[in-house]
Amino acid sequence: MENKKICVIGAGISGLVTAKTFVEQGYEVTVFEKQAGLGGVWEKSRTYPGLSTQSIGKTYCFSDFPMPASYPEWPTAENIRNYLESYTRHFGISEKIRFQTNVTDVSRTTGSRPGWVVTVRVKYPHGNEIEEKHEFDFVVVCNGTASSTRLPSLPGKDEFTASGGQVLHSTEFNDTSIIEGKRVVVLGGGKSACDIATVAANQAQECSLVFRTPMWMLPKFFLGLVNMKYILLTRFSEVWFPYRQMRGAEKLLHTVGKPLVWAFWRLVELLVRLQLGLDSCGFVPQKRLNQIECSVAIAPQDFFKYIRSGKIQTIKTTITKFIPGGVELANGQQLQADIVILGTGFHQEIPFLEEKYRQQVVDKEGNFHLYRHLINPNIPQMGFVGYNATFFVPLSSEVGAWWLVEYVKGNLSLPSPSEMIQDTTAELDWMKNQFGFVADQGTCLVAFSLRYINQLIKDIYGTDELVVWKGLSQFMMPVDVSVYQKLRQKLNSQRLRNIDDSRRSETVGVRQN
């Protein structure tokens, strides 16, 4: 194999598994990470107190590296960092990562060996920054769907900070001591905002949560008995979500069986509303639960109890401006505040990519046009891993990296570029029709996580053996991630046998001639 040089941008979950996958196939890999540590959204400087996974640890891991049994069922941010650090050491990836190295430009090269020139700015301990340029044969963008913070443009911030106030994004809230005895206002109705409001309820003098639209919050245990992993992390649960390319029993369920699907989701919604008391808290989402896109989260412990007791004051509106000593709301109300924490989420950007190629990937609405969420056929020698938000992020990134290695090797039998573009457009259009808009810039695959992973496996191995489970128990039980590694080993062995058989046949044919 030609010794191709591979650049991986980002050392989060997707970047680490991509680097590992290419390294084990013999490629020369360099990982550029702008932060001081690995982990992406789990990197220490970006995580807030109390942050934990939404999926259980047994499903939030790589197929060949299980989460330690000693970890809690829902691992903490620190657990995830330790897990990823162990993963990089185990597979020899640590020495491939260059930390505090920010990618500023990725431009195409021409000539006898076309590829990419990657420009980086390296931050050194003494404070200096040095620009470097590196050439690569293939670039994999793994900067994640949470690479850039979404910050509302609100007037009056300077006056607020001049009066002693602080404004932080959720990623900047790393220490509870800064809110002790303070008046805290949290903006947002998503996971990070609700998590932080729950922490502030116990640490701050007072806490207000300002939100426009709540997201669906689910209990860890339905009716206090049934673990949510049996509700959301099984193949059975995925059947109840529609998919663009349904067939067989699934297609029948979502056509003739639509009334049954409707009744199923209304029952689940009713149970959630009653158990968590969403109505009394004014926290009932406008969208149906089966139209969740990526807007669903595990309810923080005691969050709704604190709302009902008044420890968290909820106000359904938004902030229009900062004022000295607080904020003014759209309803005209003014809130006194010492610290305002913005749980306003993230958006995805690729500012370093050469403009003509960036326009191929991102349309005017900000949606990503990536075939299988991994490549754009109009951009040679480049891939994207981690642009596929699922319930099983490590696994979907891992299988995406398998797919991309085979793509680089030229082993995939893909449609024509025009057909890939048409398929990508059709998927975005389906999302618009299904959800009313394109969720998370087209990267949200939560409702069909396993279907997506199985589609990638079919692309790689050209087989319809998509069902990697046997029996009713595995259909109803949470996904066993390790099964995918066993499936890959089996299909790789089968592929090698087919190649050997083909070579022997050719040898016999030559001798006979």
pLDDT of residue 352: 95
Burial tier of 513 (Cβ tally within 10 Å: 0-12, 13-18, 19+): exposed
Give the number of other Cβ atoms within 10 Å of residue 253's Cβ: 17
Confidence category of residue 325, pLDDT binned at 50, 70, 90: very high
pLDDT of residue 507: 59
495: region left, alpha or beta (phi > 0 left; psi from -120 to 50 alpha): alpha
DSSP letter string over 214-248? PPEEE-SEETTTEETHHHHSBHHHHHTS--TT--H
pLDDT of residue 506: 61
- CA separation for the pair 411, 403 (Å, rounded): 9
Mean pLDDT of the chain: 90
Q: What is the pLDDT of residues 370-391, one digit of tens each?
A: 999 999 999 999 999 999 888 8
pLDDT of residue 436: 73
Helices (H), 189-309: 191-203, 229-232, 235-239, 248-253, 258-276, 278-281, 303-309
Q: What is the pLDDT of residues 36-69, one digit of tens each?
A: 999 999 999 999 998 999 899 999 999 999 999 9
Average pLDDT over residues 26-34: 97
- CA separation for the pair 469, 118 (Å, rounded): 42
- CA separation for the pair 82, 63 (Å, rounded): 17
Point out the least confidently predicted range of 19-28, 163-172, 459-468, 481-490.
459-468
Average pLDDT over residues 313-320: 96
pLDDT of residue 14: 97
- CA separation for the pair 451, 24 (Å, rounded): 26
Confidence category of residue 127, pLDDT binned at 50, 70, 90: confident
Is residue 187 within 8 A of residue 152, CB to CB? The reply is yes
Give the number of other Cβ atoms within 10 Å of residue 278's Cβ: 20
> From start to end of 19-128, where are the E strands?
28-32, 97-98, 101-109, 115-123
CB crowding 230-250: b at 16 or more within 10 Å, else e: ebbbbbebbbbbbbeebeeeb
pLDDT of residue 329: 96
* Size of the chain in residues: 513
Point out the least confidently predicted range of 199-208, 231-240, 307-316.
231-240
Average pLDDT over residues 92-111: 94
Amino acid at 483: V
From residue 27, give the alpha-carbon distance in Å to each of 4, 32, 95: 6, 16, 14
The 3-state DSSP class for residue 306 equals helix
Cα distance from N-terminal residue to C-terminal residue, the chain: 31
> From start to end of 42-142, where are the E strands?
97-98, 101-109, 115-123, 129-136, 138-141
Is residue 241 within 8 A of residue 262, CB to CB? The reply is no
* Maximum average pLDDT range among 135-149, 156-170, 458-472, 473-487: 156-170
Is residue 216 within 8 A of residue 289, CB to CB? The reply is yes
Task: Say which residue, 285 or 437, is predicted with more confidence.
Answer: 285
What sign does the dihedral 474-480-485-488 (CA atoms) show? Answer: positive
Confidence category of residue 355, pLDDT binned at 50, 70, 90: very high
* Maximum average pLDDT range among 90-99, 111-120, 148-157, 214-223: 90-99
* Maximum average pLDDT range among 108-122, 398-412, 495-509: 398-412
Average pLDDT over residues 225-237: 87
pLDDT of residue 288: 86
Amino acid at 428: L
Half-sphere exposure of residue 489: CA atoms within 13 angstroms, side-chain side: 7
pLDDT of residue 160: 96
DSSP 325: T
Task: Name the nearest CA neighbour of 107 among 279, 352, 458, 420.
Answer: 352
Amino acid at 97: I
The 3-state DSSP class for residue 368 equals strand
> Is the pLDDT score of 94 beyond 80?
yes
- To which H or E segment does residue 486 belong? helix 482-512
pLDDT of residue 403: 97
- CA separation for the pair 215, 23 (Å, rounded): 40
pLDDT of residue 504: 66
Point out the least confidently predicted range of 350-364, 411-425, 459-473.
459-473
- CA separation for the pair 477, 471 (Å, rounded): 10
pLDDT of residue 261: 93
Task: Name the nearest CA neighbour of 276 among 314, 353, 221, 234.
Answer: 221
Strands 115-123 and 101-109 turn out to be antiparallel
Task: Name the nearest CA neighbour of 479 among 452, 451, 448, 450.
Answer: 450
- To which H or E segment does residue 9 belong? strand 5-9
Q: What is the pLDDT of residues 499-513, one digit of tens each?
A: 666 666 665 555 555
Task: Name the nearest CA neighbour of 46 among 93, 12, 14, 9.
Answer: 12
Point out the least confidently predicted range of 110-114, 150-154, 211-215, 425-429.
110-114
DSSP 438: -
pLDDT of residue 512: 56
Confidence category of residue 1, pLDDT binned at 50, 70, 90: very low
Average pLDDT over residues 123-146: 91
